[in-house]
Amino acid sequence: MKILVTGSNGQLGNEMRVLASNDAANDYLFTDVNQVEGLETQYLDICDALAVRDLLMAEKVDVIVNCAAYTNVDAAESNELLAEKLNAEAPENLAKAAAAVGALLIHISTDYVFGAEPYNKPCREDQQGTPTGVYGLTKLHGEERIKAVGGDFVIIRTAWLYSEYGKNFCKTMMQLTASKPQLKVVFDQVGTPTYALDLARAIVTIIADYEQERAASLTLGLPAASSSAAQAYSKRGIYHYSNEGVCSWYDFAKMIQQTALQLAFPNAQQMAQCDIRPCHSEEFPSPVKRPNYSVLDKTKIKETFGLQIPYWTDSLKMCIENSKNLGQ
């Protein structure tokens, strides 16, 4: 199968590259608007609807994995038009192009679609989105536009994404604890970290399921995916994915510190000297109120695709070990 990955130089895109390097059965095309030295990347602006469609048709793409987005939550408040363009209009471009060529769109969304009010129980896929900021609102708009197109799609909402690559909470904490004697981290925001490599593996599982279903349809003599009479993917819809377990940002920071020391990460001794203290969210004023309870109900994705999701502390250990091996 031909798999196109957008935003391929970010956290999730890089983890897709890792998995692709060991996947001889599929052909991956990695795209982005930015070039990174050492990474083979084809330029693609997903805001350009014609360019998107032309590339999908030329490359005969079977699956799109959309990792691209405007993710600066605070900056989105003063860049609403740009956020809407990247988070809503661009996904619609991808959905329309995917429908035109009979491809599956796998789109990454966020827990921010649920807003800042505490739910006190894991959020379900069918729960109404009530975003309080521009970022969450534009991501919700993206979901709605994809669904309105009517093609095959899988939307995956995730939360607290981190990896060895890019900018994220884990890497920031490792840098700060190695250079500062004391840090304050909020304890009144609760959720579940998501290791991007685990999410990438889940995506690959979904792609394999889609390929299997499509192959079965062809065996039965049903219309090809590119045909207007083609049967829709039976598992299309919205899903939630994060690692298992629940923690606060403070818990996450402390576990990063402890795990780095356990694995003898470079600078771990300096990191261990940092005094990480819990604090209230009010001590870090922000243009957007963060979700107080950001735990996602993952029952649907586990039952539908048979996923075994790792506990967050186990995945954190793997990430830090991989970072150590990469010399980061």
The residues annotated with a catalytic role in the active site are 135
Which of 1, 20, 76, 10 is closest to 46 using CA atoms?
10
**How many Å separate Cα 2 from the centre of its chain?**
20
Three-state helix/strand/coil letters over 192-261: CCEEHHHHHHHHHHHHHHHHHHHHHHHHCCCCCCCCCCCCCCCCCEEEECCCECCEEHHHHHHHHHHHHH
Buried b / exposed e over 197-225, threshold 16 CB at 10 Å, is bbbbbbbbebbebbbeebeebeeeeeeeb
- Cα separation of 131 and 147, whole Å? 18
Asked whether the beta carbons of 301 and 241 are under 8 A apart, the reply is yes
